[in-house]
Structure 1
Amino acid sequence: MKKNIGRKSWFGFTFLLWALCLHSLTGIAQTRNEIVPGEVWPDDKGNHIQAHGGGIIKVKDTYYWYGEERRQGLDSNYRYVSCYSSKDLMNWKFRGDVFKMTDPDSLGKKWVLERPKVYHNLKTGKYVMYMHVDGQVKGKAGNYSYARVGVAIGDSPVGPYKFIRTFRPFGHESRDIGQFIDDDGLAYLIFEDRVSKGFHIAKLSADYLDVEEDICLIKAPLEGGAVVKYDGLYYAIGSALTSWNPNPNKFATARSLKGPWSEFKDIAPVETNTYGSQSTFMLKVTGTKVTSVIFVADKWKPRTQWDSRYLWMPLKIGKGELQLPKPQAWRINVKTGETEMLK
């Protein structure tokens, strides 16, 4: 009798241990060795990454990805910026909502915080976040009449970030923003100016808390501005003004940020509408063997924004040409810079 009870207890304990292990593993995402454009991208907890309209910086050997937090169930009185970290660009750890902001100027329920970008200032040691802040202004038509840049600051890449102010760079309206760090370490803010029908490239001040010089206005009615320097040539990408709907994104080149800039050309077959995506950022990965440039874009779902996806693909770039290949699964070796297309 005692023998039987001991045996049953052993099996019961084994089953309980197995169940507990299974329960603890269900919330953990498996290690990924590929990037699949347009698919759900789980973080370390198995949740779809919420970093829309964002930007990426590298600190030592770690990449930090910031973006608009759009998960369901958020307090509608606030807007949030999320942060994820990665060593390989394929597996991302959720570091929390590093910035939380209330309505800055009584803009109403529909005010927005979009396209957050973070700069690491090596001189001050601070991390400076820029963002597009918009909403309705009394006496003006439309929900995007505020058209300003917001600035916040933090002591570490994962924050928390403290709000400083909003402003209009050089007095211009500012909507979609982008960021660019040149090879000499100088930092630039890219911002769309609807009135001037183009987007500006503005040099930041030494502390990164303000704009210092309006380097160039690229005269093209585009938003989603992104700039990268490759093999001594500057490449700029922009998206047409079609709201949430995708369109054929275009690129231009210049020997200097001040221009002159070439005519804009399509980065993908026109009929694909950039494979249903909109430009957000170009990430340059300089490895021991090659330098790769990744097209970082959003595939927006305006009615279910929490389910919006990402299109990341290595660009075919060089000698004044830039092409976005048809999306497919791929992987990258961040140490060598090499990318591999998967079938």
Structure 2
Amino acid sequence: MLVVVVALVAALCAVAPAHAATVTVPNGGQFRDTSGNVVHAHGGGVIKVGAYYYWFGENRNADSTFRYVSVYRSTDLRTWEFRNNVLTQQSHSELAVANIERPKVIYNSATGQFVMWMHKENGRDYGEARAAVATSSTVDGNYTYRGSFRPLGHMSRDITLFRDDDGAAYMISAANENADLHVYRLTDDYLGVHTLLHRLWQGSWREAPAMFKRNGVYFLLTSGATGWAPNQQKYATASSVAGTWSALQNAGDNTAYGSQAAYVLPVQGTSTTSYLYLGDRWAGAWNGAVNDSQYVWLPLTFPSNTSLSLSWTPQVSIDTATGVVQSTAGPAENLVARHSGKCLDVTSGSTADSARTLQYTCGTGTNQRFTVQDLGNGYVRLVARHSGKCLDVSGNSTADGATVLQYTCGGGTNQQWQFRDAGGGYVRLVARHSGKCLDIADASTADGAGGLQWSCGSGANQQFTRRAVA
């Protein structure tokens, strides 16, 4: 989706912001704002106004019902300042008990209004399937709720907006119990639906749409409809929004690295324009509250003018001044078993869920390299460099002998580990859920001996050296 650049410098930028330096955004975690609070912009979208990027998203109650649409701003896409809860339960009687999802904002230069569209449910069941609209004369002011409806009588769930270069605006939403994806042309004031242009991929069960334009080609990225569970993202292209869309093609791995598309952000600078996939790693996948969800941001690359590629990277380097967005590997570690001198390894370099860990002669393979993500609670996640998946105890088992494998990262304590000093420069890796140690089976020194958990003891097959690698 295109970023709207609005020239409101005098009204919005009394003091010019500092030049944004290159920043690094780690993947699979949460952001904190400049006051130290967790950023809640789930299912959100971004609009650029002047020098600032404004990030809108869901900020829910503990029971996952609507609390706020919150907005944050940043010049560098890493340092976020909380600005306002622009829509609240008190904004309108319809919102007192509701579900509000996937808020997106675009600017209408003809009316001078910022217009927000969102998916609205009644907060008690999931049968309303309505779109809702709100407006404000300032990007981060209080938005006036203008009501909800079914567009041209059709169900409307996951939603996005796209504003084209000519000022025409479009709303894309999941319809027909998510079986279809509808593309609507909005009215000139962006407050209503003018025309239903497409019923795309009927019966294909698509949701979470994100549209953007690059070099005259329109891209529409979507997710399958599998509840909170992540799945294969797919995309299509067209030469115009109203034109014929291509067949769907896969993007990323079969879980989008444990995420679901929320938005695609063009980062336009002095050197280039890059395109950044903004995804949610929904906490519902591990039975958590929505506000525990995490973010996955990945640079899109384009093998051709009508194709895209979505690849895993542990972190993203962003320079909003130049527009350069790049994958960066970041620091990683080998975990070297004391008894054998061999490295913890994901079997055969597999990127699949449930691929086993084992020990193997240390080499240069990225399946022996792990990024350590500090969770801020005394525990870490160990993310395999080659797959973006987490070191996991199979089935959340607390039993001796349970397999240690890789699995799509989530919030489960069976993916949380603590490094405990074992003396002599060695550490034990203790699983949070069980209190048991990562262990090489039978203290074997052979290649291929499996990784498992076992009651912690003094064996050298439970002791590892953390060795930094590039």
TM-score (norm 2): 0.61
Aligned to 1:298, the other structure's residue is in SS state strand
Contact 1:225 1:239 in 2 (8 A): yes
Q: CA deviation at 1:218?
A: 1.5
Report the counterpart of residue 148 of structure 1 in structure 2: 130
Report the counterpart of residue 96 of structure 1 in structure 2: 84
- Whether 2:27 is the aligned partner of 1:64: answer no
Q: CA deviation at 1:84?
A: 0.3
Which of 175, 179, 198 matches 1:197? Answer: 179
Distance 1:330 1:290 in 2: 16
Q: CA deviation at 1:257?
A: 1.3
Contact 2:61 2:67 in 1 (8 A): no
Q: Which runs of 5+ in 1 are unaligned?
A: 1-30, 138-142
- Whether 2:221 is the aligned partner of 1:237: answer yes
Q: CA deviation at 1:196?
A: 7.7
Identical-residue share of aligned pairs (%) = 38
Which of 193, 198, 211 matches 1:216? Answer: 198
Instruction: Write out per-residue CA displacement over residues 164-200 of structure 1, whole angstroms, 9 at most, x where no aligned residue.
Output: 1111111110000011121223211111112583211
Q: 1:249 to 1:133 in 2, by over 3 A?
A: same
| Equivalent residue letter for 2:170 | Y
Contact 2:44 2:262 in 1 (8 A): yes
Q: State which structure, 1 or 2, has the greater radius of gyration over its C-alpha atoms.
A: 2
- Whether 2:234 is the aligned partner of 1:246: answer no
Contact 2:162 2:211 in 1 (8 A): yes
The structure whose residues are more often helix, as a share, is 1
Instruction: Write out per-residue CA displacement over residues 187-232 of structure 1, whole angstroms, 9 at most, x where no aligned residue.
Output: 1111111258321121221111111122222124200011111111
- Whether 2:303 is the aligned partner of 1:323: answer no
Aligned to 1:63, the other structure's residue is in SS state strand
Contact 1:32 1:90 in 2 (8 A): no
Contact 2:89 2:96 in 1 (8 A): no
C-alpha RMSD of the superposition: 2.4
Contact 2:87 2:143 in 1 (8 A): yes
| Equivalent residue letter for 1:324 | L
Contact 2:22 2:317 in 1 (8 A): no
Contact 2:212 2:219 in 1 (8 A): yes
Contact 1:267 1:324 in 2 (8 A): yes
Report the counterpart of residue 41 of structure 1 in structure 2: 31
Distance 2:211 2:67 in 1: 26
Contact 1:199 1:223 in 2 (8 A): yes
Which of 316, 319, 323 matches 1:337? Answer: 323
Q: CA deviation at 1:104?
A: 6.9
Q: 1:203 to 1:330 in 2, by over 3 A?
A: same
| Equivalent residue letter for 2:309 | Q
Q: CA deviation at 1:263?
A: 1.4
Distance 2:312 2:117 in 1: 31
- Whether 2:72 is the aligned partner of 1:79: answer no
Which of 131, 142, 154 matches 1:172? Answer: 154
Aligned to 2:270, the other structure's residue is in SS state coil
| Equivalent residue letter for 1:240 | G
Number of residues paired by the alignment? 303
Give 1:252-267 correspondences, 5 Å limit: 252-267=236-251
Contact 1:249 1:268 in 2 (8 A): yes
Report the counterpart of residue 274 of structure 2 in structure 1: 292
| Equivalent residue letter for 2:69 | V
| Equivalent residue letter for 1:57 | I
Report the counterpart of residue 12 of structure 1 in structure 2: none
Distance 2:95 2:265 in 1: 33
Q: CA deviation at 1:106?
A: 7.3
Q: CA deviation at 1:288?
A: 2.1
Which of 114, 129, 134 matches 2:116? Answer: 129
Contact 1:136 1:145 in 2 (8 A): no
Which of 282, 294, 298 matches 1:309? Answer: 294
Q: 1:36 to 1:107 in 2, by over 3 A?
A: closer
Q: 1:267 to 1:196 in 2, by over 3 A?
A: closer
